Amino acid sequence: MKIAVVGAGNGGYAMAADLTLRGHVVALHSRDRSKIDAITANGGIDLTGIVGEGRANVAYVGNDIAAAVRDAELIALPVPGMVQEAYLDLLLPRVEVGQALWLCPGSGASLVIQHRLRELGKAGLLVFETLGLPYGTRRTGDASVAVRARYRAQSAAFPARRTPEALAILERLYPCEAATNVLETALMNVNAIIHPLPSLMNWGAIELRKGAFSLYGEGMTAGVLRCLDEIDAERVAVCRELGLSTLKLDEIYGLLGARLMYREAMGMGRAEKYEERFIREDVPIGLVLIASVGEMVGVRTPAIDAVITLASVLYQQDFRASGRSATRLGIAHLTTPSLLAYLYEGAS
């Protein structure tokens, strides 16, 4: 298959290397010239870990978005939610109906772009979302990446009636399962549960040590985990009201085939670099969505609301106003039956 991977972060490196070594023709787009130069000088990306090892001579590595996506059957966007829309602004004018656009993770972005696709005359583009990346991975150098875990991809298209088309493409690359719709995958965003609240509850240590703090290895005490479970219970209540998956946090990890690191790593790690995205991304992209959909369907989320408020004070930024809310997704005006119909059928 010819595949374009747009975004050269941890996931982009792993995806480009793994799929190349498995015989696919891959183009990797990066906005960062230093990454392109490093991969070119190295003769490819060095891959290690559970999916295999080797140097992947990726067919195209560059910053020309048009060249990267030209003739690709699948265009993957494995970038964090906080930069998705910037990448999509770059990407959408170059994508053609007949190609497939995969957002991994999605976090509801396929709903955000619907107006833009209609403006461009590309409403028929196949767009689908996955709960997260298909890998647990980290770059280990300028031209190297390690894959420590492989996850089952929970995926849905918007509209969901096209999910079988999406899975027919994705299952050629990764183990995958159908989700009910893209709102279900967005509301199953585990990062929104395991990152922001524990970060706030450990903020004194994080700030005092200038970020040299392991959230999983040092921050997941019994009290923090009790509060984390309450946050998840509110998320599950929102999903229940919508008739979507009511899997709890630990059950989602089991579905993905992932270890429960937030329950298992306490006392095992120290002095890792705290990641700002744990709040800056996971509050506006994850928690704001859960809370706003909860308000929309009449489910209270007081613990989530408190985290959003405190995070906004901490960073002096109104995450409710800037976040990916039901209004931002264009669904706030819908009743539950009309919302579910829209997610399945799309715009009439």
* pLDDT tens-digit profile, the chain (348 residues): 999 999 999 999 999 999 999 999 999 999 999 999 999 999 999 999 999 999 999 999 999 999 999 999 999 999 998 899 999 999 999 999 999 999 999 999 999 999 999 999 999 999 999 999 999 999 999 999 999 999 987 899 999 999 999 999 999 999 999 999 999 999 998 999 999 999 999 999 999 999 999 999 999 999 999 999 999 999 999 999 999 999 999 999 998 888 888 888 777 766 678 889 999 999 999 999 999 999 999 999 999 999 999 999 999 999 999 999 999 999 999 999 999 999 999 986
- Check if the beta carbon of residue 288 is closer than 8 Å to that of residue 305: no
We report the CATH number of the domain holding residue 236 as 1.10.1040.10
Q: Judge if 174 and 232 occupy the same domain.
A: no
Give the range of the structural domain holding residue 53, as residue numbers without chain letter: 2-187
Q: Judge if 26 and 161 occupy the same domain.
A: yes
Cα separation, 49 vs 56, whole angstroms: 14
Q: Judge if 220 and 181 occupy the same domain.
A: no
Q: Which two tokens stand for residue 59?
A: 């067919």
Q: How many domains does the chain have?
A: 2
- Taking the CA atoms of 233, 273, 145 and 53 in sequence, report the sign of the dihedral they define: negative
DSSP 8-state code for residue 97: B
Cα separation, 30 vs 16, whole angstroms: 12
Q: Judge if 14 and 50 occupy the same domain.
A: yes
Please tell me whether the overall predicted TM-score, pTM, comes out greater than 0.85 for this model: yes
Cα separation, 181 vs 163, whole angstroms: 8
For residue 120, with 0-12 CB atoms within 10 Å meaning exposed, 13-18 middle and 19 or more buried, which class applies?
Answer: middle
Q: Judge if 247 and 155 occupy the same domain.
A: no
Q: Judge if 234 and 306 occupy the same domain.
A: yes
